[in-house]
Structure 1
Amino acid sequence: MKFAVVDVETTGGAAEMNRITEVGIVLLDGTEVVKTFHSLVDPGAPITPFVVKLTGITDEMVSGAPQFRGVADEIDSLLHGRIFVAHNVQFDYKMIKQELKRCAIMFDAPRLCTVKLARKVFPGFPSYSLHNLTKSLELPDFHHHRALDDTMAAAEILKLALNKAGEETVMKLVRNLKKK
Structure 2
Amino acid sequence: MLAKTIAYMSMEEGEGSSRAMVEEEPEIVFFDVETSMPWGPRERRTLLEFGSIFLCPRQLVEVAEPFVTLVRPSDLGVVTEVLERKGITRGALEDAPPFYDVADNIHNALHGRIWAGHNIISFDSEIIREAFAEIGRSPPEPKGMIDTLPLLTQTFGRRAGNMKMANLADYFNLGPQIHRSLYDVRMNLDVLKCCSTVLFLEDNFPELLSGGFLNPNDISLEFIQVSISFSSCLGKRSLTSGLRTNSLPYQFEWSLCIEHNDNPLQLRCIGLRVRYEVCLYQDSEGRPNKLSIVVDIPENLRQVLEFCDEIAEITFRKFGSNSEWRQVIKEYGNRPSVRLNIPIVGSGDDATYATEIYLKEASGNIRKKDFSKADVAELEFMFFRGDMVDAFFSVELYDYKNNAGIRLVAKKLVVHCR
Do the aligned partners of residues 79 and 162 (structure 1) sit closer, same or farther apart at CA in structure 2, a change above 3 Å counting? farther
Do the aligned partners of residues 50 and 94 (structure 1) sit closer, same or farther apart at CA in structure 2, a change above 3 Å counting? farther
Q: Does residue 28 in structure 1 map to residue 60 in structure 2?
A: no
User: How far, CA to CA, are the matches of 1:118 and 1:165 in structure 2?
Assistant: 11
Taking structure 1 as the reference length, what is the TM-score of the superposition? 0.77
Q: For residue 101 of structure 2, what is the aligned residue in structure 1?
A: 70
1:1-180 correspondence to structure 2 within 5 Å:
2-12=27-37, 17-30=44-57, 31-35=60-64, 36-46=66-76, 47-49=78-80, 51-52=82-83, 55-89=86-120, 90-103=122-135, 104-109=137-142, 110-127=144-161, 128-138=163-173, 140-160=174-194
Conserved 8 A contact 2:29-2:53:
yes
Conserved 8 A contact 1:101-1:107:
no
Taking structure 2 as the reference length, what is the TM-score of the superposition? 0.36
What is the count of residue pairs matched by the alignment?
164
- Rg bigger for which structure? 2
Runs of 4+ in 1 over 4 A off after TM superposition: 160-166
Which range moves more in the overlay, 126-135 or 157-166? 157-166
Q: CA deviation at 1:28?
A: 1.4
**Secondary structure in 2 matching 1:153:** helix
User: How far, CA to CA, are the matches of 2:160 and 2:109 in structure 1?
Assistant: 34
User: How far, CA to CA, are the matches of 2:170 and 2:181 in structure 1?
Assistant: 18
Q: CA deviation at 1:101?
A: 2.4
Q: CA deviation at 1:120?
A: 2.9
Conserved 8 A contact 1:2-1:29:
yes
Q: CA deviation at 1:129?
A: 1.1
What does the per-residue CA deviation read over 1:125-162, in whole Å, with 9 as the maximum and x for residues that have no partner?
13211111012234x32552111111111122334456
RMSD in angstroms over aligned alpha carbons? 2.6
5+ residue gaps, structure 2: 1-25, 201-418
Do the aligned partners of residues 114 and 53 (structure 1) sit closer, same or farther apart at CA in structure 2, a change above 3 Å counting? same
**Secondary structure in 1 matching 2:63:** strand
Conserved 8 A contact 2:117-2:148:
yes
Q: CA deviation at 1:65?
A: 0.7
Conserved 8 A contact 1:117-1:161:
no
Conserved 8 A contact 1:26-1:155:
no
What does the per-residue CA deviation read over 1:150-175, in whole Å, with 9 as the maximum and x for residues that have no partner?
11111223344566669xxxxxxxxx
User: How far, CA to CA, are the matches of 1:60 and 1:53 in structure 2?
Assistant: 10
**Secondary structure in 2 matching 1:106:** coil
Conserved 8 A contact 1:86-1:114:
yes
Question: Counterpart amino acid of 2:115?
Answer: F
Identical-residue share of aligned pairs (%): 27
User: How far, CA to CA, are the matches of 2:46 and 2:167 in structure 1?
Assistant: 27
Do the aligned partners of residues 6 and 143 (structure 1) sit closer, same or farther apart at CA in structure 2, a change above 3 Å counting? same
Do the aligned partners of residues 2 and 137 (structure 1) sit closer, same or farther apart at CA in structure 2, a change above 3 Å counting? farther
User: How far, CA to CA, are the matches of 2:31 and 2:119 in structure 1?
Assistant: 10
Q: For residue 321 of structure 2, what is the aligned residue in structure 1?
A: none
5+ residue gaps, structure 1: 167-180
